[in-house]
Structure 1
């Protein structure tokens, strides 16, 4: 009873706020023509319509239902606009980047990361531009080749781990080690092994980030004033969760960077992203630059690790399910040689009103499954990009939407593409990737399916990595020795 009495004022305030939001939204609906979307409920709007999993399917289906490539939902004062075509994404994110380059940082993320730690989610402005400029200097196309030796070393170790296991049970663990060790090497010049504590620190922080994303919308995100409620207050469990997650995220940014600064002070730091940033820094402005560099180095791991893991696992998944495509790519390799936005101002698009503050996002899945651009889009067919003479076709666009849009497109995309090319070409050069077998020699079938989360990965499966030729094993081991 005491808890009910204590919570009553908050419930009253929330109820009043909901009514006020509904009244304001009703008035705005009479003034503006929003893009089409499902009809919502009074006060709640489309809160119950927002998909909690596999949202890309729901948004694509609404686009077809309403015959519009731009869909609108709203609820509790928030507007969500989803773009389901490459044209709409280019028109808004690229051509109007001055409006759509901001990011929506929820109250829960503010609790965990603060406004300036994760620069990929930082609000658009001069401070974000400082980060982007420094990052671009070291990951632009002409700068990416300097990281090739580190990428090659990480790939060689991955090949050896896969060679030694072969069972198909733990290849995901090996891929995670590959991605984590590569980024720690590129960013800090740390030569880590699978049991390194620094890998554990960043993995815990990454899991915390996924917990936040997968938990959906917190009440504090809808009513930011709740951020000021003390952690001990009844119903403020989100504050205690945020404190736990914040400690993990802080460690990811602070611990590796602190260790690197120590090696730098000792004079033993090796060439890497962090060393280049600090070497170019103005000593007079070091306190400010130190925070920027810490943000850049920590975010590089957060943004690059799991995306690399999912891309690599998705490739392995595709190879297991498509042995004919695998053989085609291997033949080519053998022949040739031996990787959301926020509207800052009111806008009009195709006669529809997009209010300032709207969350505007591209439905990348729908864009890359557009049947007019990519015929038979549900078939895994890399040949669609090649002409009869084996050259890239000009009339089939490369799927760059994978990396985002406009000014917020992934700044590390050139590094990622080079890394994925090295993974794909190296794996297929020395292995046949096949379905695993159980202890009785029976093939373990692989079911097609992906997780429902925002960062979607193949559901768990097993794979077997068999050397393609007798010399493959010695080639792998000699490459690892040469890197030592």
Structure 2
């Protein structure tokens, strides 16, 4: 598989001619050799070893070992073989993979002052332009400015309270859409996630069906996932390839990057200009962007940061929440006993004469645990986004050299049998009682200064979606010609991971539920 990956990757980059690919590979190997040997000489001058891992080849390092999909599964296997910190190298670039939540906290949180940078991702960051968004912005003053803006508007539970009515209103619209065409639940999930995040980020109310801002966000976030995935584009591993002329055979990635850059620019500029126009006319709804644009004496630099911080919120929430809510329907179809137990709690606490609200959460411990288990069971960002070490670090007797990439294997941290009993099962009970297992929100939203700034919003969205759907619908496995169709259990590859495509049956629980769905907010 590994040798096939190298051949097909170079063939895709440089054309179908094996000889041409071989010459390019040779040129790249020479550059890589210099980098590799220099690094090895430096490392040999130190007595402290790197973390263990697969055997490295001269020049190539572990490029032949790297998986091209489902990376988290390979990383987990390496962890079982070599321990909680695994070291690999790709053309001289050192990568440390973490397979323990405790080690991730010790490195990425307790040592966050040197573990909070991001790597330069040539395809997604530099060529496409995602370096302007929070997820890839380098650690420094601009990063701190972004974090401050997020914390100011949506960073705490109290600051998010003012948006709860909005989430409830849009989720109620979601229920109506499900009632009309339940077979299109995936489309409704995506539309609702976009509706919520666009109202919070830009005060924009989406169109009932196809909305241009949601469409462009879907395209951009899919392109982000592809352009930043560990096994994605070779230019991310060999940065000098970005200097290959556009006309050079196989330089198609540069054309792709230009197209994707236009998509990203449209995603950021369109909603931002909408807010400015609304503010000029005095009709702007309260939002993340309008609140920040109300600051006095705005500079061009500040406006640029506001535009891209709001685009960060918009893009960050548009796809990640979609993955979680889609997984909600998979879980409900797979675990009917869990669904029944959650519905019984809602019926007892909320009743059947109104829909649940965010304010009910503290009185719905099992439904709250259900939402937490949903975040754990389906890891939306299974390998996170790599951190970059800003100076040499020594941890547990191993050297993590300056410039190393540190990848927390989030999927495994959420499925570690040392932490979660029967991790592949969906069991909300694991978060209840005196022996409750660790809160997955401490892992799934990232670590340290790179923790997701929209986590309070995401957490609230998952809860209210689960509670409202459970209150009025029964979700079961899809049937065709009288036969039950088992849904596939698995995840797509990419930085943002969705459940594999599946079908399910979504039916109102009663005529009273239908009245609730069709009622006014």
TM-score (norm 1): 0.91
Name the structure 1 match of 2:205: 191
Q: CA deviation at 1:225?
A: 3.5
**Cα distance in 2 for residues equivalent to 1:55 and 1:224:** 21
1:395 Cα offset (Å): 4.5
- Decide whether the 8 Å contact of 1:35 with 1:72 is kept in 2: yes
Are 1:58 and 2:71 counterparts? no
* Partner residue in 1 for 2:430: 384
The answer to whether the 8 Å contact 1:111/1:242 transfers is no
1:424-463 maps to which residues of 2 (within 5 A)?
A: 424-438=466-480, 440-463=481-504
Sort the Cα spacing of 1:277 and 1:85 in 2 relative to 1 into closer, same or farther, 3 A: same
CA 1:365/1:116 → structure 2, altered by over 3 Å: closer, same or farther?
closer
1:87 matched to 2:102? The reply is yes
In 2, Cα distance between equivalents of 1:240 and 1:267: 41
Q: Which residue of structure 1 lines up, in the alignment, with residue 187 of structure 2?
A: 173
Residue 312 in structure 1 maps to residue 325 in structure 2:
yes
Q: Deviations over 1:374-417 (max 9, x none)?
A: 11212111111112xxxxx4642111201011111111111111
Partner of 1:289: 302
Structure 1 SS opposite 2:483? coil
Between 106-115 and 316-325, report the one with greater CA deviation: 106-115
- Secondary structure, aligned partner of 1:353: strand
Superposed, 1:390-429 pairs within 5 Å as 393=434, 395-400=436-441, 401-429=443-471
Shift in Å at residue 216 of structure 1? 3.1
Residue 275 (structure 1) shift: 0.8
- Pick closer, same or farther for the CA change 1:408–1:224 going to 2, 3 Å: same
1:40 aligned partner: 56
Contact 1:451–1:459 (CA under 8 A) maintained in structure 2: yes
SS state at 1:99 partner: coil
Structure 1 CA distance for aligned equivalents of residues 243 and 107 of structure 2:
35
The 3 A distance-change label for structure 1 pair 7 and 90 is closer
* CA distance 1:80–1:341, shift in 2 (3 Å): same
CA distance in structure 2 between the aligned counterparts of 1:385 and 1:12, rounded to whole angstroms: 54
- Partners of 1:351 and 1:185 lie apart in 2 by 49
Aligned ranges for residues 345-356 of structure 1 at < 5 Å?
Answer: 345-356=391-402
The alignment partner of 2:338 has SS state of helix
In structure 2, distance between residues paired with 1:125 and 1:131: 10
User: 1:143 corresponds to which residue?
Assistant: 159
Q: Is the 8 A contact 1:152 1:422 kept in 2?
A: yes
Residue from 299, 304, 318 that aligns with 2:312 = 299
1:156 matched to 2:172: yes
- Residue from 315, 323, 337 that aligns with 2:336: 323
* 1:390 alignment partner in structure 2: none
- Alpha-carbon offset, residue 282 of structure 1: 3.0
Q: Which residue is 1:132 aligned to?
A: 147
Find out whether 1:98 has 2:113 as its counterpart. Answer: yes
Instruction: Note the C-alpha offset of 1:350.
Output: 0.3
Alpha-carbon distance in 2 for matches of 1:6, 1:313: 44
Stretches of structure 1 that go unaligned for 5 or more consecutive residues are 388-392
Partners of 2:152 and 2:321 lie apart in 1 by 21
1:216-239 deviations in Å (ceiling 9; x for gaps) = 343433343343444233332221
Spell out structure 1 runs of 4+ moving beyond 6 A. 3-12
- Aligned partners of 2:32 and 2:59 also within 8 Å: yes
When the two structures are superposed, what TM-score results if normalisation uses the length of structure 2? 0.85
Alignment deviations for residues 321-374 of structure 1 (CA, whole Å, 9 cap, x no partner): 000011111111122222521111100000000001111021112212222321
Distance (whole Å) between structure 2 residues aligned to residue 471 and residue 8 of structure 1: 68
User: 1:175: Cα distance to partner?
Assistant: 0.3
Contact 2:478/2:485 (<8 A) preserved: yes
Q: 1:452 to 1:10 in 2, by over 3 A?
A: closer
Partner Cα distance (2:23, 2:85) in 1: 40
Q: Evaluate the alpha carbon distance shift between residue 84 and residue 289 of structure 1 in structure 2; reply closer, same or farther with a 3 A threshold.
A: same
